[in-house]
Structure formats: structure tokens, C-alpha cells
Structure 1
Amino acid sequence: MGKLGLDPDVVRRARRLAARAAEPIIDMARTHTTVSVERALLRLAGLSGADEGGTPWVNHLADAVRDQVGIEHGVALPVWDALVTGPHRTLRELAEAAAAGQAAFRIPEGADADAARTAAHRDAAAGIARIDARRAERDRLLRTVGDPPHPWIYLIVATGDIYEDIPQAQAAAREGADVIAVIRSTGQSLLDYVPEGATREGYAGTYATRENFRLMRAALDEVSAELGRYVRLTNYASGLCMPEIAVLAGLERLDMMLNDCMYGIVFRDINPRRTFIDQRFSRQIHARAGIVINTGEDNYLTTADAVDAAHTVIVSQLLNERFAHEAGLTDGLLGLGHAFEIDPALPDSFRLELAHAQLVRELFPAAPLKYMPPTRHMTGDIFAGYLLDAFFNLAAVMTGQSIILIGMMTEGIHTPWLSDRDLALQNVRYVRNACGRLAEDFTPRPDGFVAQRARRVLAESVELLERICDDGLLAAIADGTFGVTRRPPDGGKGLDGVAERADGYYNPAIDILEGTADPDLAGPAPAEVTA
């Protein structure tokens, strides 16, 4: 029954409805592919780098295949057929030839198709084996360096210059941060390619590149050894290149990824069909890599009223849970997001926040929940803001949240100064140390305000899920159900990169991740899950 006295039949009904609502989207993702899914396979197989103009070789190669034979069969058969039968010895040589218009592709048949399939599987399996090795490396470090207890303190460091981010991230870890988030430069989610190399310029964030991942991971490993606790690294795997960034994160041992296509749909106007398809593959990669995903339900409350729209957060979390489970993620990797965004001037605002936070905690007891601080009602009054952040930290401790993102009292004024960050870390450290395991002692009255509010939000969630089952999730998104922003299924950016899979579609990475590969070609089994 938990502390809120939730009716288990209602909870089961909510999950059944979420599964029904998610199924058409899952079917779509299983029967379609995208340019980014196909490019992700090429990255897994070892193709990296870019031309002098910055266009990645994976883009050149995938575009050439699409122009000549389409991507309905996947890029694996035409690309590895060209390697097996042609003069080019490596993917890089083939990509350079394709960029120069000097490579021809076909959909092979018979013995030629078998040879291409075998070669493609070999290279994809090698890439997945590298991801497995990085996961095993994390597991060893968690055992030898030490894993900090929940709640983890999550802090954003992103100046635009990766070489400035590194010392700031290490300093933040020394001050108590357990998770360092290097958020992306504004607008990167709309790029249909992944930039290459270390970057030194970015707006309100640092570009997500494989080299930036590598540099920051090495820096945090260094400070982890110094501090005697493993410091986690997170970045964003949302946007038009979600599958590719997921692969790069697995190869460079990131620990968490913002991975929720609803954020891209609602707040970046990315086509819903494109990004739901991309999301499924990216989450399969995260499941294999043991990467905790973070979802973006907190963002709904920056545009919708946090009281009136509380049930939309629960509905989205239940849908995200179903999508994640279907892609292979376990509960220990589901960093479902929610936020402390109720207007503080509202009577009983803190009690409402406790009701919402405790409801999420009880619905997803095994998930490492990520709790987001107040932003919408940070007015620039730094004293009121600091107090509001302390109340947020208190709510997080009282309701047993797993990951606490640091709130800044200057959130509404400018990008916070380093001194602001230090004060914010002091705030959460004080509350966490002073309150200890307060969640053990916090038990709302069975028929009190908090419990009744939580049960009402759950009931509203069931009602909304029933409507979504009748009308469809894409229609609900088009109607502005989430974040009050309307996004039609055929609108937004990236739809031209979607293709329905043809008979005979082949992607060896998907076969390996789903365990459906030919037994004669089967790759290694995945490692045990470690959150």
C-alpha cells in the first residue's frame, strides 16, 4: 500500500493502459528505420571522422546509400557488399569514395547477400563488444573506487569550451557533486549530424562529441580516484542524432544520458515519428551499455501549470517506463524525471509538492528518480530563491528521491557564477546531512491532504490514459496534451529521414541487441545491469 494508500488495482490499470497506448508507437519503431539509426550502425562498426568541411563520414556514406538504393533495406547490406566485392578495404575509404561520387551500391542477393551479412555482423559485434568492455570497466571502478549513496547530487557544467569545463567539473566533484552533466550547446539537437573533435565554442552548453566525451570521462576518472568515489558523467541523447550519440556514449563510458524524445518533440519541434523510432534504438544501446536514462517530464511544468498538469507528468512517466522496458532497460536504469515547479505563492504549495514527489516515488520504487529544482518561479530575488531551493532539497530527502539536480538562486537572472554553484552545493549538503534518512519518518496521514492529492492525480492520470488509448498518443501530442504545445505527427524536423523497413531489412546491431541474430553469427551476451 505504501505511504499514500494507493489502490493497487488502480496502479495496475494505469500500467495496462500505458502499455496499450504505447503499443502502436512500438510497432511503428519496429517496422521503420531512420538515417540516424543507420549512421549509428556505421559508428558501431568503427567509422568516425569528418571531411574538411566538418561533415561526418557516416553522413556521406549513409546519404550515398539512400540516394542510390534507399535505406529501406538498411545500410548494412549495400555497404558491406561494396566492401566485400569492391576495391575499398575500409569503411573510411568507402565513405571517401562515396563523398566523391565514386562508389556504387546495390541490394545484394543470394550468396552475395550472405557474405555482406556476415561481414556486417562481424563489425557490428566488434563495436558492441567495445561497449560491453566499457560497461565492465565501470563495474570494476564502482567496486574499487566506491559508489556514493543516494541521493546523488547532480550538477551542470557547460561553458561551451570543453577545456574550461574540465577543471570546473573536477572542482564541482570536490565540492560534493556525484553526477556532472555537460549539457549541449543550444540547437545541437536540431543538427542532423554529430560534430567531430574537441570543441571550444558553444552557446549555453558544450557540443556533444565523442572527443569531448572522452576528455571529460578521463578527467572525472582522475578526480574519482582522488576522492574515493565514482563521479558519473551525463550528456544528452535527444534530438535528430539520438541513436548516434547513444553509441558514442556507450563507447566512451558515459553513465547517464538525457534520453526522452518527448522533449525533442515538444520543445524542439522534432518530428514525432522520427524521434520515437530513434528513441527505441538509442535505448537498446543504453540498455546494453548500462547507462541510466533521464526523462524530461520536468519540462512540461515550465510551460504548463504544475498543479493542473501534474497528471500529465505521471502519464508520460508510465509511457516512458513501457517504452524503456520494451527496449530492454531495467528499472534500475530508469531515471524518470519530475520537478518542483508549483507557484510558491499558492497556499499549501509545499504539501502539493510532497504529494506529487511521493506519488512518483511509490509508482516507481526501483527507479533512480531524477528530481529537478524550481526554475519557473525563480524571480531574481536571490534570498527567496535560496530558500525555495532549500525547500526543494527538503522535499527530495523527505520523499526519497535518487538524483537531485542542484538549484541555483540566480537561475532567473543569468548563467550562475561559480560562487553561486558553491552556495547551492552547500545548501543541498546541509539539507542532506541534517535530514539524513528523513524519508523513513515521513508518513502522510491516510486521509490527509497529501495522500488525497496523490490519489486524485493518479485518478486523473488513468482518465487521460483512457483517452490516449482511444485517440492515440500521436493525436494526444498533436492536441498539446504535454507541455501545452501542439506537435502534429507529420510536422517538425526530420521526417524526411524516416523509411518503412522493406522485406529483408537487415541491421546486425538490432539483431544482436534483441538477441535475434543468427546463432552462427551471434555476438557476446550482455553484462549484468549496474545502475
Structure 2
Amino acid sequence: MEAKLKVNQELVDKSRKYSQKIADGIQKHIDENTTTSVERTVARLMGIDGTDKEEIPLPNVVVEQVHKSDSLGKGIAYWIGNAMVETGKQPQEIAEAVGRGELTLTDLPQHDPDKIYQTVNELAEKTIENIRKNCEEREELMEKQSPGEQPWKYVIVATGNVYEDARQAKAAARQGADIIAVIRSTAQSLIDYVPYGKTTEGFGGTYATQENFKIMRQELDEVGEELGRYIQLVNYCSGLCMPEIAAMGAQERLDMMLNDAMYGILFRDINMKRTFVDQDFSRLLNAYAGIIINTGEDNYLTTADAIEEGHTVMASQFINEELADRAGLAPWQMGLGHAFEIDPDIEDGFLLELAQAQLTRQVFKDATLKYMPPTKFMTGDIFKGHLMDGMFNLASIMTGQNIQLLGMLTEAIHTPYLHDRALSLDNAKYIFNNARHLMDEISYKDNGKIQKRADEILEQTTDMLEEIADKGLMKAIEEGKFAGISRPQTGGKGADGVVTKEQGYYNPFLDLLRKGLGINETG
């Protein structure tokens, strides 16, 4: 999109410099630590799947056994690889033996590390190759079946039953949706394991499992073939199992995943030290798998005022951008988030919203921006709500957004019905078509309300990032700088899952992913 605002590039450059300093402190922590969820991801990528007789996922079983012996600092790949050398068995067989109580990994004689590395690396390279093939398959399908014109129309299914989700998703695709997101069952982000198999019961959503991913991918490929349009699939790799779900998404060819550096800390009270390590490995997997991440800055405005705290959204976008870059994500894979959340009763609120959306577009010009609908001020008056969503769609097409999570006229009433979704899709299609080139005909006044608001946001953003760069991101979160929510560094869920790496720590996928993405040890 042609630049419409006069953006102070000096402030943008300063903001990125401060973000680099902020990320330096976080990267040091990432490089020195692993987590139980990262190690379970390694076990999954080595081929470990299924559950034991008590229905505990085998990746949890093997990692927990080593963690209890205070030996996880070497990396689960070292212990599984050692068992492979000792027994001649494959990782799945080893995990099953551990699950039956027949094998203790840390009791086995320890073999030559080079032999362990050679054994595991051969297996790891095959896994990485399969992920690469999924990327190639996506590229071929998108070449044959266009994913649609941007802004991509993104809708949600959330029935709890994966088969009903699939039916609703196919109906939405036929009605014009480009992207289908499957909402996870309530509080799945807080359980420290990934449920196994297909599921037909959930609470406010459907469990994220590898089998459910497979079912949804097959169904969307089927309707995509019918429509001649590639339908993109989204799920959530936030929470305590962030990297595990990223691995599942890479293996089942998901296209987008919700993945934010701070969302779980702020809104789910997950320990920050764990989250920063988990998000790095999950983003490496997303980057290599060609997945677009969706960050969660829109959530800040559900707890803070969109006018007073609009700059915190942009500050977080700068930080998410820098951390994503260090994990190998290309700009087109950065679905940086923001939201249409200004009080609709404020005079000229639409102008203030245009300022934030246009500034975001110009500052992050190569990112695949994700724009979120009005929710905080959504009303039970479906007519006003539908109009609010129409204004949201107009702001999107005017400012060149890429991913449009469509608002629903019944957002404040119930989970959307099929016809609610159809009306929202018709709303978006009408406005996107009728205002497609509106901004080619319009310019903003140099000293007008929109320009002044954009200037104010950028100045406040730069000041905030400078302050955080001086004190560190973890300290800033403790002080409640984002979303008005304070979290302690030592508190939160999953803190006991952070493990200091020992000398010689081994994770073959970390090395292979970084090598494949062309990044060094520190990003």
C-alpha cells in the first residue's frame, strides 16, 4: 500500500534498536535453558507417539522420568539416543518400555556421545525432510489453487466435535472464507500435555490434537479442491505445550498458528521464563514449516483502553517482530496483531482507529498483519453490531491489512450459527469489493487528526521501548507495562518445567532448524 502517513523514520529506527536490546536479554535466557515442553517436542519429533496404559502421552512419560532424576539438562535426545545405541530399538519402542516400567533411561550404561549423535541425527534429518516436503506440498497447492485476495477472510469454528467443526468449516469455505481457525477447548493452554487422538467433546472449542489436525487438514483440502481455492487452517500453539503443538502443526501442514511471546504470560499466568524458551523453539518450527504466526496484541485492548494504551500494542509488535526474526521467521510469516477496539461512542473514533491501523501497516510494511474485530464494546443489538463490524472491515480495506478475523453480529450473545458466519462473510465481501481502491483516491491531511494521532502513538511507543530496554522485559512485565497486568518472574504455571542446560546439552532439531533457516546460535 502507498504510504499515506508521514512516519518519523528516526523514531522507527530507535524503536527497533531498543527492541534488539530487549531481545538480547531474553535470548541469553533462551540459550541457557530448556523446558519440559521443549524436550517433549524433541521426543515427538523423534517419532514418539501414543499413550501408556493410564493414557498419559508417552512424550510426557519419558521426559518426566528423566526430569525426576535431575538429568534433563543433557536433553532428552541424549538419553533416548543412548538407549537406541544400548538396545538397538527405535524411540517408540523405548518409550513404550519406559511406559510399562521396564526401562529407566538414566540407569543405562552411557555410550560414546559421537555414536549417540550419529544415531539420532540420522533420524532427526528424516523428520526435518518430512516437514520440508509439507512446505513444498503447500506451495504446490497454493500455486494451483489461489488462497484468495487479501484481506483474507478468517472465521472460527468451535463446536467441541472435530467432525462438526469440519462440516462447519467446509460450509464457511463455500460461503467465501479463506482461513478457518479451530478454537481450542477452554483451558487447554493450561494443561501440561497434549491430548491424544480424535475428540468429539470439548468446552467452548475442540481439543488441539494431532489426529484432529489431520482430520481438519484433509477436510479443507477436499473442499479446496472442490472450490479451486486453497483454504488455510489455523490452530493455537500458545500455552504450556506451545512447541509441541507447533511440531504437530508442522507435521500436519497447518498454515497459521497463534504464537505470541507474551500472551501466555499476561493472559494465562504461565511462567515467563518458561514461555520465552518455549516460544523460541516453537517459532523455529513454525519458520521452517512455512507457517504464519499470529501474535496477540489485540488482547491488550480487552483489559486496557485503546486510546490511552494504543502505544503498548505497537511496542509489543516491535518486540514480537525482533524475537520472531531471531527465530528465523521471514517478515511474511509475521502476522502481527492489532484490534478495532476504540469505544464506538467516542467522536471521531474511526479516525483514531485509522491512524493506528495505517501506522501499523507502514511501520511493519512487509508483515502479514492480522486485524481483530470489535469485542470489548460489542453489543447485543445485532444491527449495531453488524454495522460496527462493517466499519471494522472498512478500516481494513482502507489500510491494507492482510488477515481479517471477521466479527460476528451475535458476538455478544452466543457462539455463531452458520447463518451468522454467512452474514459476516457477506458484509466483508461487500465492503472489500466496493472500497477496494478507495485509498488510491484519498490522502491524509498533514496536520490532521489522523496524522497527529499516529505521531503520538509512535512517540509513546519509542519512549516505552527505551524504558524497557533499560530495565529488561521481564522486569517490565512484573511492573504491569502491558495490558495493565503484572506477573512475577518466579511465579505462574509451569515454572518447575524450566531446566538449565548442562555442558554438552543435545537437541539435534535446534541445530538442524537453525542451520536450515540460516541463523546462528544466538539468532
Q: TM-score range by the shorter chain?
A: over 0.9
**CA distance 1:470–1:97, shift in 2 (3 Å):** same
Partners of 2:409 and 2:167 lie apart in 1 by 23
Measure how far apart 1:107 and its partner are.
Answer: 9.4
Shift of 1:485: 1.1
1:112 shift after superposition: 1.8
In structure 2, list runs of 5 or more residues that go unmatched.
Answer: 519-523
Q: What secondary structure sits across from 2:105 in the alignment?
A: coil
Q: Distance in 1 between matches of 2:218 and 2:94?
A: 32
Q: What are the Cα deviations for residues 103-136 of structure 1, in whole angstroms up to 9, with x where unaligned? A: 2334999962111111111111111111111111
Deviations 1:313-365 (A, max 9, x none): 00000000000000000101000000000000111100000000001000111
**AA in 1 matched with 2:450:** V
**Residues 372 and 405 of structure 2 are in contact (CA less than 8 Å); yes or no, is this contact kept in structure 1?**
yes
Amino acid at match of 1:160: G
Give the SS at the match of 1:153.
strand
**In 2: Cα distance, 1:332 partner to 1:268 partner:** 27
- Provide TM-score, normalisation by structure 2: 0.96
Q: Which residue of structure 2 lines up, in the alignment, with residue 519 of structure 1?
A: none
Q: Aligned runs of 1:7-156 on 2, under 5 Å?
A: 7-86=8-87, 89-106=89-106, 112-156=112-156
Deviates more, 1:437-446 or 1:104-113: 104-113
What is the CA–CA distance in structure 2 between the aligned matches of 1:197 and 1:457, rounded to whole Å? 46
Cα pair 1:342 1:353 within 8 Å, conserved = yes
Secondary structure of 1:30's counterpart equals helix
Task: Give the C-alpha shift of residue 69 in structure 1.
Answer: 4.6
Q: Given that residues 398 and 438 in structure 1 are in contact (C-alpha distance below 8 angstroms), is that contact kept between their aligned partners in structure 2?
A: yes
Partners of 1:18 and 1:68 in 2: CA distance: 38
Deviations 1:431-454 (A, max 9, x none): 011111223334211211101100
- Equivalent residue number for residue 217 of structure 2: 217
Correspondence list, 1:498-513, <5 A:
498-513=498-513
Q: Secondary structure at the match of 2:74?
A: coil
Aligned with 1:305: secondary structure? coil
**Which aligned pairs between 1:171-210 and structure 2 lie closer than 5 A?**
171-210=171-210
What SS does the aligned partner of 1:261 have? Answer: coil
- For the residues of structure 2 that align with 1:447 and 1:225, how far apart are their CA atoms? 50
Give the distance between the partners of 1:396 and 1:486, measured in 2 at CA.
32
- For the 8 Å contact 1:474–1:489, the answer to whether it is kept is yes
How far apart are the structure 2 equivalents of 1:102 and 1:440?
A: 70
RMSD: 1.5
1: CA distance, partners of 2:15 / 2:439: 25
Partners of 2:147 and 2:178 within 8 A in 1 = no
Q: CA deviation at 1:101?
A: 3.0
| Partner SS for 2:61 | helix
Structure 1 unpaired stretches of 5+: 516-523, 527-531
Q: 5 Å matches for 1:398-477?
A: 398-477=398-477
User: How high is the sequence identity, in percent, across the aligned residues?
Assistant: 50
My pick for the range that moved more, 452-461 or 107-116, is 107-116
Partner amino acid, structure 2, of 1:458: L
Is the partner of 1:371 in helix, strand or coil? Answer: strand
- Separation in structure 2 between the aligned mates of residue 406 and residue 118 of structure 1, nearest angstrom: 49
What SS does the corresponding residue of 2:199 show, helix, strand or coil? coil
**The 10-residue stretch of structure 1 (249-258 or 126-135) with the greater mean CA deviation from structure 2:** 126-135
Contact 2:86 2:111 in 1 (8 A): no
Contact 2:52 2:100 (C-alpha < 8 Å) held by counterparts: no
After superposition, give the CA deviation of every residue in 1:153-175 in whole Å (9 maximum; x if it has no partner): 00001200001001100000010
Alignment of 1:198-347 (within 5 A): 198-347=198-347
SS at match of 1:317: helix
The CA deviation string for residues 170-201 of structure 1, in whole angstroms up to 9 with x for no partner, is 00001010000001111000111111111001
- Aligned partner of 2:367 in structure 1 is 367
Counterpart amino acid of 1:14?
Answer: S
- 8 Å CA contact retained: 1:400, 1:439: no
Q: Which residue of 1 aligns with 2:521?
A: none
What secondary structure is seen at the aligned counterpart in 2 of 1:114?
Answer: helix
